Amino acid sequence: MSTRQDAIEDQNRRMLRARDAMDRTYAEPLDIPALARIAHVSESHFIRAFAATFHETPHRYLQRRRVERAMYLLRNTDRPVTEICFQVGFSSLGTFSRTFTAIVGETPTAHRRRGPIAPVPGCFVMAWTRPSATDRTAGSDRAIEQFRISSRPEPRRRFKS
């Protein structure tokens, strides 16, 4: 085992730790100093190292996380778009709509019309329906279609409490 490989693996784990933190607190403002502390690196090194590890900047990753959460809330709740925009961490409706449309390839309202996402554990929804960083429309559309097909509504019944 080379020392260089050790260093890369150690850095991977520290970046993953910071990414987990972003997944937990996505609705809060992007706090590079706090994330850099979690990763035990300087702020400027954090952004570089994160991008080298996951092939996108922390800012971009956070945007995709927020958009994924917005996609979920649009399809699975009837909350107003404005409320969802703020709930996932955007502070302006204009920025939200622009970012959402650029990443997903359709507007929040058009996305809402796709209907509810299939019931699977939340961690998989978060991982699988997050819009692709590279294959923007094709990848997302395939995932969206899969989730839609498998989520045919069932008759409404009450939970046993």
Residues making contact with other proteins (CB under 8 A): 5, 8-10, 12-13, 15-17, 19-20, 23-24, 53-54, 72-73, 76-77, 116-119, 121-123, 151, 153-154, 156-157, 159-160
Closer Cβ to other proteins, 102 or 120, answer by number:
120
Q: Minimal distance in Å, beta carbon 119 to other proteins?
A: 4
Distances (CA, A) of 99 to 1, 64, 74, 93, 131: 43, 9, 15, 10, 12
Q: Minimal distance in Å, beta carbon 130 to other proteins?
A: 14
Closer Cβ to other proteins, 17 or 98, answer by number:
17
Closer Cβ to other proteins, 52 or 102, answer by number:
52
